[in-house]
Amino acid sequence: MSLRSQLLKGVLEGCILSIINRQSTYGYELSVRLQEFGLSDVSEGSIYPILLRLQKEKLIEGTMQKSDLGPKRKYYHLTEDGQHALREFMEQWENIKLPVDNILNKGGETD
Amino acid sequence: MNSKDFIKLNNDMREKLSEENKEIYEDMLVYIRLSGNKSEQQTEEVLFELLEHLLEAQKEGKSARDVFGNDFKKYCDDLIAEIPGEERSFALVFGGYIVLYFLGILSTFYGLGNFLIHQFFDVGSSDYTFSIGSGITVVILDLLILSGFIIFVLRWLKNSTFKVKKPNKWVEFLRLWLISMIFIGATVGSPIIMPSFGSEITIPVLSFAIVGIIFFIISFILNKKFRITK
């Protein structure tokens, strides 16, 4: 796997955890949210392998619930481990965001 | 919800897909279901999610290609890699169920058939003499032939997915017919060509039917208890 897609995968995992943490949600809605936030490059289906992995790592859990209108859906919520992983991701992201932005903007020049 | 409930729901909801989306989705479904020793529960849950997603996308005029990308096989492989394996205990129950069911059919028909032929046409004997050594070998051999047959058919089904050009139905039918004939021939033929070794015993031929029916009952109970097929 290329470094680029690995980077994207890690970031996407963090974003998914964050969205689910705000409100328990199901697959289709999750993909709509990601697109709304501007991650339109991500193909819709690519969230499902990630959701499976997050379940396998016990960071999220799915339960079948009847939606207001329409059929039953699998709603995901974060587990305790998931909340821990989200906090960790946010910390790491904070640490990396500013330096990377600075490097990219100034082409690596230090003042 | 149990995996069997998901399968039923999936069968109903799949009908709402458009012709083109349905063809692609059903290929994905077969390919993913035949991916080997994966948790049936997790497999059916994610298949159901994909179906719901595709139905929602369809409402907005999107195609399967828009949702899953252009390489469906690659997408399915990525998905399969993340599905957890089946629990060993269930895999054992499932294997036991198939073995009992298969031996049940074989034994019942053999016992009942020979008994009736003897009763009505006075052909053969109501007793059956066999040697223990070759008897056990034949049973093991038949089970090996059965597993070979199952593996072949599953591979064959999996390979039939994502084909741009659909193969000729008659050629496919003939091929499967031929394989089935070889399977049945090998199963029935193995006791005939097996040389006898080990000490010989004689039992009434009808006892095969009784053993077969007991196997049936056990496999039926297993099926009820663990929801293997329904």
d(CA B59, CA A52): 25
Q: Where are the domains of chain B?
A: 3-82, 94-126+205-230, 131-204
Range B3-82 classified under CATH 1.10.1900 = yes
Among candidates A28, A31, A48 on the partner chain, residue whose Cβ is nearest the Cβ of B46:
A48
Q: Could you list the residue range(s) of the whole structural domain that residue A32 is in? A: 3-106
Q: Cβ(A45)–Cβ(B75) under 8 Å? A: yes
What string of H, E and C letters represents the secondary structure of B106-173? HHHHHHHHHHHHHHHHCCCCCEEEEEHHHHHHHHHHHHHHHHHHHHHHHHHHHHCCCCCCCCCHHHHH
B78 to chain A: which residues are within 8 Å by CB?
49
Q: How many CB pairs under 8 A join A and B?
A: 57
What's the ipTM? 0.85
**A71 located within any domain:** yes
Q: What is the pLDDT of residue A69?
A: 67
- DSSP assignment of B87-99 equals PHHHHHHHHHHHH
* Residue in the block written with tokens 């946010």: A90
Residue A93 inside a domain? The answer is: yes
Decide if pLDDT at A111 tops 60.
Answer: no
Number of domains in chain A: 1
| Residue from the list A27, A49, A72 with its beta carbon closest to the beta carbon of B78 | A49
Q: Does residue A31 belong to any structural domain of this protein? A: yes
The answer as to whether A111 is a domain residue is no
CATH number at residue A34: 1.10.10.10
Number of C-beta neighbours around residue B29 at 10 A: 20
pLDDT grade, residue B26 (50/70/90)?
very high
Tens-digit pLDDT profile for residues B95-140: 999 999 999 999 999 899 989 998 888 888 888 888 888 889 999 9
**Whole-number Å distance between alpha carbons of B79 and B81:** 5
Could you tell me what percent of chain B has a pLDDT over 90?
62
pLDDT tens digits, A2-59: 556 777 888 899 999 999 999 999 999 999 999 888 887 777 898 999 999 999 999 9
